[in-house]
Amino acid sequence: MSKTQILIVEDDAIIAMDLESRMKKLGYGVTGVAGYGEQAIEKVKENTPDVVLMDIILKGEIDGIETAEIIRNQFDIPVIFITGYADKERLKRAKLTYPFGFIVKPFQDKDLEITIEMALYVAKADAERRKAEKRQELLIKLLELLNQSKERIDEIRDILFLIKETIGFEAVAIRLQEGEDFPYYHANGFPAEFVEAERNLCARDQHGEIIRDSQGKPYLDCMCGNVICARTDSSLPFFTAEGSFWSNSTTELLATTTEADRQARMRNRCNGEGYESVALIPLRSDDKIIGLLQLNDRRKNMFTLEMIHFFEGMGDSIGIALDRQWTRAALEERMKELNCLYSISALLELPGISLGEIFERTIMFIPPAWQFPDITAARIVWGGQSFQTGNFRETPWMQSSKIIVYGKPGGQVDVCFLEEQPASNEGPFLTEEQHLLNTIAERLGKIIERISARDALRESEEKYRSLVESTNDWVWACDLEGRQTFANEAVKTILGYDVHEIEGVLYENLIHPEDQKKTRQWFKSSIEKKKGWKNAVIRCRHKDGTLKFLESTAQPSFDAKGNLTGFIGIDRDITERKRADDNLKENLSFLQTLIDTIPNPLFYKDVKGEYLDVNRAYEEFYGKPRQEIIGKTVYDMGPKHIADKYYEKDQELFQRPQKQTYERKVINAAGETRDVIFNKASYADQEGKVKGLIGIISDITERKRAEEALRESEEKYRSIMEAMDDEVYICSPDFRIEFMNPAIKKRIGYDATGEPCHKVMHGLDEKCPWCVHGKVMKGETVKTEFVSPKDGKTFHVSNSPIFHTDGSISKLTVFRDVTETKKMIEQLQQSQKILSIGTLAGGIAHDFNNILFPIMGFGEMALDDAPENSPLRNKIEEILQGIKRARDLVKQILAFSRQSGQELKPLKVQLIVKEVLKLIKSSIPTTIEIKQHITNQCGLVIADPTQIHQVAMNLMTNAYHAMEDEGGKLEVTLQEVELGVNDFIDPSMNPGPYVCLSVADTGTGMDQITLERIFEPYFTTKKTGKGTGLGLSVVHGIVKSYQGDIKVYSEPGKGAVFHIYLPVIKSRFETEKTEAIEPVPKGTEMILLVDDEESIVRMETEMLERLGYDVTERTSSIEALEAFRDSPGKFDLVITDMTMPNMTGVQLSQKLLEIRPDIPIIICTGFSAKIDNAKAKEFGIRGFVMKPVVMSELAKKIREVLDQEEG
């Protein structure tokens, strides 16, 4: 323990020194020595002593007593008076200063020590007592304060004042919880800036946001925060077990403790402000810290632990009192609010109260619930109406709350103070008041909802009652067993029972027996599930026994506690409807069957384009079940660009309702592209409004294919018909021509479709005698051969039936010109005959020679043996002559049959012909004149010279034989000619230059029958022994083997001409090519051309037309004469064949010249034997052309004749 410090106040320096030394001797410390009163006070202030030794009598302004009083009062330091003497007056005065002792001078050291020790003890005890008294006093006052029902602010103010005054602290303050923070609620003695800076405890980050701990609680700063948050460590000296903080020197604390010791971030404002003594005491209520008491003093050592404990006890009292007081205040407020709210709610209980009345009354309940009822006014605005207290006016101190009805703001409640009220930190209104206002507004909202619901309910009840009364449906109610408890009048109509009859009857007993089980089941399951049934159809018996169909709907009914009590139901008489429904269903079923039976895909849609239904064919076509289609649109069925097109079409139809047809390609279920036709039509409701469309799809793929195939087929047959040379026509059952191909049109000369066939084909007015029409109409195909009387041509005619799909038959007739074919077949037959004979001849020749050889040998020997004048000789000579002839014959046969062994080489035919002529001249009589026209420039022919020799010899011998009896003229001509395609009979011949050997006689001639057979082997007209019958067939064979040809013209009695054509390998035309080719002379005159052979007419016409002439052609001399007679002046020239039936060329010429003597005429002839130039001139014929006609010659001759005429 430190020394007791003593201040000595003594104006006598010697005594003072004595005292000082004596004190020190006694073991006391001396803080100082003062000579007078003021100095003493200064010294006490300067260095607080434990005891003051004071001389009563002092020099200076104030004496010892007065000084002591000041020290005691100001510093509470015990003073011991020292006095040498004491008058009573002074003593009396000294007593008043409550001195702690008197020491009278002179005094012993012992006395001094006792006095000092006593004084110290008494002073200490006295101080303790006084402190205790003060605390006691403070506590009493505090409790008094706390028990007064004052406003809190006043209460706290008073508490602080009391603490400050009573305990003597420089600054005191209280923090109380407000929201999450604990700001100063009130402070006393702190500088205003300090309070302002330190008001809040919540730590905030740089953005001003409250910093929170891991549990989300706000972090409270500084030592205040520690105490409030109970972050105290009682093991540290500055924290108590009760959670208080205290320090008698904050400077020392800061210097001696660590940040960790101090628990939290320190703001150090207390220390900064100079407060050394600081105590922070928690205010507790139960275990909850609701605030803090702060005690600050700039002086050090203001606290003892005992004091802190005292304040802790006081803090508890304050905490409990404040908490209790708050609770009570809150309770009172709640009571006010509850009262207000209850009153409002109670309004609803008033029967028949209207919404307006509720508003009017409600505003009256509001002001009493507020803090200052006298100056509070209220208003409710709802539905454009305003309800307000009489004193209401809008002021700046107004609070409002919206009335929300069914989730929407519909009005508001306003409360205002008519005068300004002191603003606490909550503004003019308490938070609770705002809450209350919100609650009122909310309650009003509910009330409005309830009132309108009540009104609506009332209305609807009214409505339902009248509905139940007026409805034709049987409305009923029953208990859980199904016993009828209510029924409306409709039951009379529906079931025939009076209402009273029904009551108490089981529901199921009214039902048809067959449906009773079902109804029982409904009741059972409805009771279990607490659910009703809906639109259930049951059958009932009318009182009169008739069957009724009812559609029953029932709902469970409950009592107020929610217990199921029974059911309420509505049963509708649907007997009629059911009947109609059944009919409708039947109809619908019929329609559906009908629609499904339609083989075409069918669909119908509504105006939105959604499919309403499709038929079975549609399902099959697209391979989709109708469930997948119904309700869909085209956009669900296919790609958008395609759907767009259908959509457009649908819209088009809806806008212009009518039928719509279009073609499309679609893909069916099998993935095939099909050509279809859509037929669509819109349909409308009874008012004519378009409701949708119906579409039907026709698959025309097959039809299109068939059409295409038919078209192709028609095209094919048409081109066949057009291309074929055969003449074709089709004839109807009534002999009308239905079709003619171009070939027959050309023959007939025009398109005779529609005309009778017999008229067109044969110029007959009635059907042809040979008509096969009847047979064809029976389905037969008739083939005939027919020789046209018109041109003598042979036709194969095929008549076949064409069966039409309608059962009718047409006749198809095809004319095939077989003239040429027949000729060729005949020639072929002949060739084959010759060939077979040749083969035969080859075979027999050897044997024949073997026979002849011995005959000849023996004959010759016999002749040799016969005597000179024996008659035998002559006979043997005859035999030998016969044998030689036989030998020659065999030679001829062999020559004929010889195929190989011929020596083919290029040769000049003219040389051989000249040789033969030499030979023949020597062997024929002079009655026969020989004329020869041999062209030496004829081209080379590939041939066997012997055979050519044989041919020429044979022809000339024949000619000689023909004129042997009568004589005549043999004319041999050899020339090179150019032959065209039309000049040939044999198709194996090629166009080009030919050497033509003509051998003409003026002999007996041949008829047509003979002509046809002359090339047959062994056919001969000669007398027996004169001809072998092989000559001409040998000639024919030779010529043919050289790809040549042979032609004969002959008439009985007029002679014959044979033309042999042999192909030239090197033409004289070719060899002469370098020479100037003579241009073919042309002209434009009109020529009448006559020849009985149509092919010749055709050929010559072409020639003439090519030369530029205009040609009128005729195939008979009579027709030609008629044509000429009709317009004689029309023609410039007539070219006529010589040999024609009815009238020869010469006879025709004579007739023509009779009509027009100056008409130039050219005669074409195969042989000129009977007409020579002179004779012709005599007849008036201008010229001849030899057949075959060569174009260049003909051209030359025409010009010659025509130009001569002009000349």
Partner 1 sequence: MARILIIDDEVQILNMLRQMLEGEGYEVIDAPDGKEGLRLYRENPTNLIITDLIMPEKEGIETIVELRRDFPDVKIIAISGGGRESPDNFLLNISGKLGAQRTFAKPVEREELLKAVRELLK
The residue ranges that bind partner 1 (CB under 8 A) are 841-850, 852-858, 860-861, 864, 883, 887, 890, 894, 897-898, 900-901
Residue 888 phi/psi, 5-degree rounding, is: -60, -40
Q: Give SS3 for 583.
A: helix
Q: Calculate the alpha carbon distances from 141 to 133, 144, 172, 315, 1203 in Å.
A: 12, 5, 17, 14, 177
Q: Calculate the alpha carbon distances from 919 to 327, 877, 923, 1095 in Å.
A: 178, 26, 7, 39
In the bound state with partner 1, the residue whose beta carbon lies nearer, of 635 and 848, is 848
In the bound state with partner 1, the residue whose beta carbon lies nearer, of 958 and 1033, is 1033
CA gap 1173, 1179 in Å, rounded:
10
By C-alpha distance, which of 673, 652, 654 is closest to 664?
673
Residue with tokens 């309608």: 806
In the bound state with partner 1, the residue whose beta carbon lies nearer, of 898 and 1182, is 898
C-beta of residue 1180 within 8 angstroms of C-beta of residue 1149: yes
Dihedral of CA atoms 137, 139, 140, 142 in degrees, nearest 10, equals 120
869: Cβ contacts below 8 Å, ≥ 6 apart? none
C-beta of residue 408 within 8 angstroms of C-beta of residue 445: no
**Between β-strands 1086-1090 and 1133-1137, what pairing exists: parallel, antiparallel or unpaired?**
parallel
C-beta of residue 183 within 8 angstroms of C-beta of residue 175: yes
Cα angle value 60/62/66 (rounded, 5°): 155
CA gap 587, 590 in Å, rounded:
5
Q: Which amino acid type is present at position 682?
A: S
Min dist CB 952 to partner 1, Å, is 22
The burial of 1035, by beta-carbon neighbours within 10 Å (0-12 exposed, 13-18 middle, 19 or more buried), is given as buried
In the bound state with partner 1, the residue whose beta carbon lies nearer, of 373 and 857, is 857
Peptide bond into 106 cis (omega under 30): yes
Min dist CB 885 to partner 1, Å, is 12
In the bound state with partner 1, the residue whose beta carbon lies nearer, of 578 and 887, is 887
CA gap 1054, 1032 in Å, rounded:
20
Dihedral of CA atoms 938, 939, 942, 945 in degrees, nearest 10, equals 30
In the bound state with partner 1, the residue whose beta carbon lies nearer, of 859 and 939, is 859
Min dist CB 945 to partner 1, Å, is 15
Min dist CB 856 to partner 1, Å, is 4
In the bound state with partner 1, the residue whose beta carbon lies nearer, of 756 and 1017, is 1017
Containing 246, the helix (H) or strand (E) segment is strand 245-247
Residue with tokens 């004329």: 931
In the bound state with partner 1, the residue whose beta carbon lies nearer, of 677 and 862, is 862
Min dist CB 800 to partner 1, Å, is 50
In the bound state with partner 1, the residue whose beta carbon lies nearer, of 669 and 872, is 872
In the bound state with partner 1, the residue whose beta carbon lies nearer, of 559 and 864, is 864
Min dist CB 1169 to partner 1, Å, is 38
Cα angle value 154/157/159 (rounded, 5°): 110
In the bound state with partner 1, the residue whose beta carbon lies nearer, of 106 and 854, is 854
Min dist CB 928 to partner 1, Å, is 33
Min dist CB 854 to partner 1, Å, is 4
Min dist CB 950 to partner 1, Å, is 14
In the bound state with partner 1, the residue whose beta carbon lies nearer, of 852 and 974, is 852
In the bound state with partner 1, the residue whose beta carbon lies nearer, of 753 and 849, is 849
In the bound state with partner 1, the residue whose beta carbon lies nearer, of 388 and 1041, is 1041
C-beta of residue 243 within 8 angstroms of C-beta of residue 316: no
Residue with tokens 């205002």: 416
C-beta of residue 1103 within 8 angstroms of C-beta of residue 1089: no
Min dist CB 867 to partner 1, Å, is 17
Instruction: Compute the 3-state secondary structure of the chain and give helix, strand, coil in percent, each to the nearest 5.
Output: 45, 25, 30
In the bound state with partner 1, the residue whose beta carbon lies nearer, of 465 and 884, is 884
In the bound state with partner 1, the residue whose beta carbon lies nearer, of 901 and 925, is 901
Min dist CB 944 to partner 1, Å, is 13
Min dist CB 761 to partner 1, Å, is 55
Min dist CB 887 to partner 1, Å, is 6
Min dist CB 851 to partner 1, Å, is 8
CA gap 1126, 807 in Å, rounded:
50
Min dist CB 747 to partner 1, Å, is 51
Locate 32 and state its tokens. Answer: 């100082």
Min dist CB 899 to partner 1, Å, is 9
The burial of 525, by beta-carbon neighbours within 10 Å (0-12 exposed, 13-18 middle, 19 or more buried), is given as exposed
Min dist CB 1042 to partner 1, Å, is 19
Cα angle value 1070/1073/1079 (rounded, 5°): 120
441: Cβ contacts below 8 Å, ≥ 6 apart? 401, 402, 403, 404, 412, 413
C-beta of residue 364 within 8 angstroms of C-beta of residue 389: yes
What do you get for the CA distance between the two ends of the chain, in Å? 192
In the bound state with partner 1, the residue whose beta carbon lies nearer, of 842 and 945, is 842
Min dist CB 1044 to partner 1, Å, is 23
In the bound state with partner 1, the residue whose beta carbon lies nearer, of 565 and 946, is 946
DSSP 217: P
Dihedral of CA atoms 922, 927, 928, 930 in degrees, nearest 10, equals 70
